[in-house]
Amino acid sequence: MAQLASLASLAGAGLTVYGQVRQAQQQKVAAQVQQENLRQQQAAQQQQGDAQLAAKARERRDTLARTLASARARLGAGGVSPDEGSAAALAAGLKTDAAQDTAEEAAIMSARLAAGRRSLLAPDGSVNAFLRAGQTLGGTVRNLLD
């Protein structure tokens, strides 16, 4: 009778380990599906961010072109060559400011996208289930040996 109890305990431990391994497999599949969904969300966010950056860059480029054309026209009307001296410095300054604004906008958008991303170090639980199964089996074997 005592041998039957030991065999039943061992069979129970085996079923427990099997159940935990199955649960770990299901968790792994669920984690993979969740990871794929997260990847798709990040791709959509990236596309949206790229579209916003492109629209703002186009708007900034158009504004810069209008401002430069207006400054050239005023300088030309005043008898100053728009491609020399202070007029050229003004144009270069406007272009530099626009380039800095574009770079800052890109950095801000990258930071926003990065803030929304999950950490790569987040545990998915796939290894923990196997460790728990090993602990359960070890505890059962220890009880049988006692």
Per-residue exposure over 29-65, b if at least 16 CB sit within 10 Å of its own CB, e if not:
eeeeeeeeeeeeeeeeeeeebeeebeeeeeebeeebe
> In the prediction, which pLDDT does 129 show?
56
Chain segment 87-107, per-residue pLDDT in tens: 788 888 888 888 888 888 888
Domain ranges of the chain: 2-145
Average pLDDT, the chain: 77
Element (H, E) at 27: helix 2-77
> In the prediction, which pLDDT does 118 show?
47
7 pLDDT above the threshold of 50: yes
Token reading at 67: 């401002």
117 pLDDT above the threshold of 60: no
Band of pLDDT at residue 133, cut at 50, 70 and 90? low
Token reading at 5: 């109890």
- One-letter amino acid for residue 75 of the chain: L
Question: What percent of the chain has pLDDT above 90?
Answer: 3
